[in-house]
């Protein structure tokens, strides 16, 4: 359906692919080929159009924060906001400074501190959070091959000193209820989940469909919760570049440091792009450009 348009975008962004820097603070990510680029658009009828490396799997990293937030929000509803805020942080995703000023209550669930609180909540709520998370993703994308990458999870564990600092700091304020090692282990595993653009585009479709998974008709979030989760993606989903993303792309979205960005247009579609080289905010450089071109050329925007 969007084949011609994607080809046009792909041709136009060629000079941008590879610009920026692959994340190297997690050693297992640093060997990614910066020249890779994939894009998938999935419309509300589940028709997928893809181009480039859309079948290549990569670690979803912070995009996982949307799925864990959904699982916690589903159960706790607005009670969730007692432990994490919903304001943009205006700070880097792993910043410690704000957390100290705000007494261990993270600004939002999409910065690392906030995601760690959500992870802690899932450990309290679920008997087997790792398996439940994978099962949830399999259901969302209607596919069975979703796994953790043990090498990436281990690499994050060995170098995750800032995340360890964040979780310990929140524990000292009583905002982490479980063992810090257990929280970090689940967090590093959720970041290591391997998916491709097509799988992610399908998985985000429930957020474009008022909280209902289109292929199974199963409700994941209430209509109001889906609206609210999209609002948080719009204001907080791209680290300290969320304002730019709203301005240039005009859709709610979430990025990850392996170079993936997933975005949705309510009642119409979900789009995932992936290209590993990041801009200085930690978002895929070519991915941002491709989404900007997509919404500019189609005129699609929530505004």
Active-site amino acid positions: 62, 65, 187, 239, 257
Q: How far apart are CA 38 and CA 287, in angstroms?
A: 9
Among 93, 245, 274, 294, binds ligand GLU (CB under 6 A): 93
Residues 19-38 interacting with ligand GLU (rule: CB under 6 A): none
**Residue count, binding to ligand GLU (CB under 6 A):** 10
Question: Residue 292 interacts with ligand GLU (CB under 6 A)?
Answer: no
Question: Residue 98 interacts with ligand GLU (CB under 6 A)?
Answer: no
Q: Which residue's CB is nearer to ligand GLU, number 21 or number 210? A: 21
Tokens of 199: 């799988």
Question: Residue 191 interacts with ligand GLU (CB under 6 A)?
Answer: yes
Q: Which residue's CB is nearer to ligand GLU, number 2 or number 67? A: 67
Residues 134-163 interacting with ligand GLU (rule: CB under 6 A): 156, 163
To the nearest whole angstrom, how small is the minimum distance from the Cβ of residue 205 to ligand GLU? 21
Within the chain, what is the greatest distance between any pair of CA atoms?
54
Give the dihedral sign, CA 208/212/214/215.
positive
Is residue 145 within 8 A of residue 184, CB to CB? The reply is no
Residue 193: which region, alpha, beta or left (left: phi > 0; alpha: psi -120 to 50)?
beta
Task: Give the C-alpha distances (Å, rounded to integers) separating 62 from 46, 190, 283.
Answer: 24, 8, 11
DSSP 171-236: HHTT---S-HHHHHHHHHHHHH-EE-HHHHHHHTHHHHTTTEETTTTEE-S-HHHHHHHHHHHHHH
To the nearest whole angstrom, how small is the minimum distance from the Cβ of residue 112 to ligand GLU? 5
Q: Which residue's CB is nearer to ligand GLU, number 6 or number 236? A: 236
Question: Residue 240 interacts with ligand GLU (CB under 6 A)?
Answer: no
Tokens of 111: 């910065």
Question: Residue 66 interacts with ligand GLU (CB under 6 A)?
Answer: no
Question: Residue 256 interacts with ligand GLU (CB under 6 A)?
Answer: yes
Beta bridge mates, 218: 213
Q: Which residue's CB is nearer to ligand GLU, number 2 or number 110? A: 110
To the nearest whole angstrom, how small is the minimum distance from the Cβ of residue 15 to ligand GLU? 25
Alpha-carbon 254 to chain mean position = 4
Among 257, 261, 277, 278, binds ligand GLU (CB under 6 A): 257
Question: Residue 119 interacts with ligand GLU (CB under 6 A)?
Answer: no
Is residue 207 within 8 A of residue 148, CB to CB? The reply is no
Q: Which residue's CB is nearer to ligand GLU, number 146 or number 293? A: 146
Tokens of 251: 């859709």
Residue 74: which region, alpha, beta or left (left: phi > 0; alpha: psi -120 to 50)?
alpha
Question: Residue 112 interacts with ligand GLU (CB under 6 A)?
Answer: yes
Q: Which residue's CB is nearer to ligand GLU, number 34 or number 214? A: 34
Among 62, 196, 262, 283, binds ligand GLU (CB under 6 A): 62
Residue numbers at the binding site for ligand GLU (CB under 6 A): 61-62, 93-94, 112, 156, 163, 191, 256-257
């Amino acid at each position: 359906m969007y084949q011609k348009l994607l080809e046009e975008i792909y041709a136009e962004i060629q000079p941008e692919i590879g610009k920026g820097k692959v994340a190297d603070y997690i050693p297992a990510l640093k060997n990614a080929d910066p020249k890779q680029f994939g894009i998938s658009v999935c419309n509300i009828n589940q028709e997928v159009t893809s181009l480039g490396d859309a079948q290549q799997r990569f670690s979803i990293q912070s995009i996982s924060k949307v799925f864990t937030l959904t699982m916690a929000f589903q159960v706790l509803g607005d009670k969730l906001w007692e432990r994490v805020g919903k304001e943009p942080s205006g700070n880097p995703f792993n910043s410690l400074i704000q957390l100290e000023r705000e007494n261990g209550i993270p600004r939002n669930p999409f910065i690392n501190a906030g995601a760690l609180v959500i992870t802690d909540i899932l450990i309290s709520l679920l008997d087997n959070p790792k398996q439940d998370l994978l099962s949830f993703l399999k259901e969302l994308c209607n596919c069975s091959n979703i796994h953790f990458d043990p090498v990436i999870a281990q690499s994050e564990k060995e170098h995750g000193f800032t995340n360890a600092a964040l979780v310990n700091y929140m524990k000292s304020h009583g905002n982490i209820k479980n063992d810090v090692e257990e929280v970090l282990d689940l967090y590093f595993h959720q970041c290591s989940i391997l998916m491709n653009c097509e799988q992610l585009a399908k998985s985000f479709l429930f957020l474009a469909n008022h909280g209902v998974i289109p292929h199974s008709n199963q409700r994941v979030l209430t209509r109001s919760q889906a609206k609210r989760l999209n609002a948080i993606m719009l204001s907080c989903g791209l680290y300290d570049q969320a304002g730019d993303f709203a301005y240039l792309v005009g859709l709610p979205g979430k990025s990850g440091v392996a170079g993936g960005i997933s975005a949705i247009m309510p009642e119409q579609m979900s789009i995932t792009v992936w290209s590993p080289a990041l801009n200085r905010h930690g978002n895929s450089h070519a991915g941002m450009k491709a989404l900007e071109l997509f919404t500019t050329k189609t005129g699609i925007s929530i505004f």
